[in-house]
């Protein structure tokens, strides 16, 4: 399985100290340089992410080109644009992306999008994490990740908690 990562999922899993689940779940992970740049910028400027390191197992690969439809999309950040371009170019099996605009664009491109909550559910199913509730608490308190209460309840139910 070949998966392209956007910044949010990687950054938040690093914040939880559970970035290892990415490699265990997906095998080969790629990210464009713009994602690495965003990660470094946030790790260096946002106290929530201070001191985090980009996982060495994620290979940095630039897309050969960014389609004009992506480049001109003002709802997407540089990392999202480049991750979508790379995923489309290499025909990735999935893209790791949390932001709604990016997920919508991934769907339009025919690329399955998996967000951090989906990653955590899969990790729980494979016993890579013992329980989700504490991780969701940390995701919200430590990383400042917003989760609607109804979504949180649905995720925990899917995880058998």
Spell out the per-residue pLDDT of the chain, length 161, in tens.
Answer: 899 999 999 999 999 999 999 999 998 999 999 999 999 999 999 999 999 999 999 999 999 999 888 888 889 999 999 999 999 999 999 999 999 999 999 999 999 999 999 999 999 999 999 999 999 999 999 999 999 999 999 999 999 99
**C-beta pairs of 68-71 under 8 Å, 24+ apart in sequence:** 70/105
**pTM metric for this prediction:** 0.91
**Domain 2-129 bears CATH identifier 3.40.50.1010:** yes
CA-CA distance, 6 to 159, in Å (whole number)? 24
Q: What is the mean pLDDT of the chain?
A: 94
Q: What is the pLDDT of residues 121-142, one digit of tens each?
A: 999 999 999 999 999 999 999 9
Q: Which two tokens mark 127?
A: 């016993």
- CA 68 to CA 53: how far, in whole Å? 32
How does strand 58-60 pair with strand 2-5? Answer: unpaired
């Amino acid at each position: 399985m070949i998966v392209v990562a956007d910044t949010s999922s990687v950054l938040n899993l690093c914040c939880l100290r559970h970035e290892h689940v990415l490699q265990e779940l997906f095998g080969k992970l790629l990210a464009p340089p713009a994602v690495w740049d965003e990660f470094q910028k946030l790790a260096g400027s946002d106290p929530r992410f201070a001191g985090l390191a980009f996982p060495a197992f994620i290979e940095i690969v630039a897309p050969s080109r960014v389609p004009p439809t992506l480049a001109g999309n003002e709802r997407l950040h540089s990392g999202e644009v480049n991750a979508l371009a790379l995923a489309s170019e290499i025909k990735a099996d999935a893209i790791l992306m949390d932001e709604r605009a990016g997920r919508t664009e991934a769907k339009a491109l025919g690329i399955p999008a998996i967000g951090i909550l989906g990653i955590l559910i899969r990790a729980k199913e494979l016993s890579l994490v013992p329980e989700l509730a504490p991780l969701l608490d940390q995701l919200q308190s430590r990383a400042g990740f917003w989760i609607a209460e109804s979504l949180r309840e649905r995720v925990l139910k899917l995880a058998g908690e």
